[in-house]
Amino acid sequence: MADSPGKNTHNFLPILHARSNNYFWKGTGALSIKTFMNGRAYYHAGHGHFAVNEGNYLLLNNGQEYSITIESEVPVESFCIFFPERMVGEVYHSLVTSNEKLLDDPFSSRPRSIDFVEKTYCNDDLLAPALFQIKAEYKNKQSDHNWIDEKLLELSQRLLQVHRQVHKDMMKLQSLKAATREELFKRVHLGHDYISAYYYQPITLKEIANAACLSPNHFLRSYKQLFGMTPRQFLSEVRLREAKKLLVATDKSITDICLEVGLQSPSSFSGLFSKRFAWSPSQFRQKR
């Protein structure tokens, strides 16, 4: 398994598809989208901690230094897309420039550098379907460079749509200055991703806020503005969702599952689970 394409243009690999039980890599990569199936990969990039699994994808900017770690009992499947350095900027230029200017001067574009928000994104209706389609066709198309180029260009447009939606989401934060709002958005998401990555540990609000480089009060207030819930509520939701998956996919005892997702009391776990899903853990397992 590898997680970054070659730096040499001739060796640039835009799509990497591999499987591994145990893997570690550290370095600098191109603008990329990371997806994983049958397990979880952990990334550390900048100040961020990210867990990537089948329900989300991770977006990292060009030139970002990062590390990836996989430790799993079963092979984890990776499918990662890497964009050539100027591609997304050129697609953006073509979308915001008039047809007249593009006709008059088609080859001298000065593509702007797009600063994407580095975070995990839930599988959506914009990007995820295109990713799944590329993955489904890749085995039979991997030697067709024209097909790959077309898919990367299509994906670039969708990536820019996601980027535009992110900037709409930033408006939920109360700030007069756009730059302040953007920075706060990024930091709050660092804390949000920290919860998703380490939900199974006894993490505190102070620890999460530190990961976001914010004071606990500032983080709590901003988090509620952005997500409509508190970090504690989201932590509970993540733990219960993971417990639900384990009840379906494994035969582990309810006590073991409770402890594995970071909860300490089986009785409180049962009450929380029943309130969230209308079934107790044992009843839900019987109904699966």
Structural domains present in the chain: 9-169 (2.60.120.10), 175-228 (1.10.10), 234-287 (1.10.10.60)
- Please tell me the distance from the alpha carbon of residue 127 to that of residue 43, in angstroms, as a whole number: 21
Q: Which residues contact 246 (CB under 8 A, 6 or more apart)?
A: 252, 257, 260, 261
* CA dihedral of 48, 35, 205, 268, whole degrees rounded to 10: -160
Per-residue pLDDT of the chain (288 residues), as tens digits, is 668 765 544 467 899 999 999 999 999 999 999 999 999 999 999 999 999 999 999 999 999 999 999 999 999 999 999 999 999 999 998 998 888 888 888 776 667 789 999 999 999 999 999 999 999 999 999 999 999 999 999 999 999 999 999 999 999 998 879 999 999 999 999 999 999 999 999 999 999 999 999 999 999 999 999 999 999 999 999 999 999 999 999 999 999 999 999 999 999 999 999 999 999 999 999 887
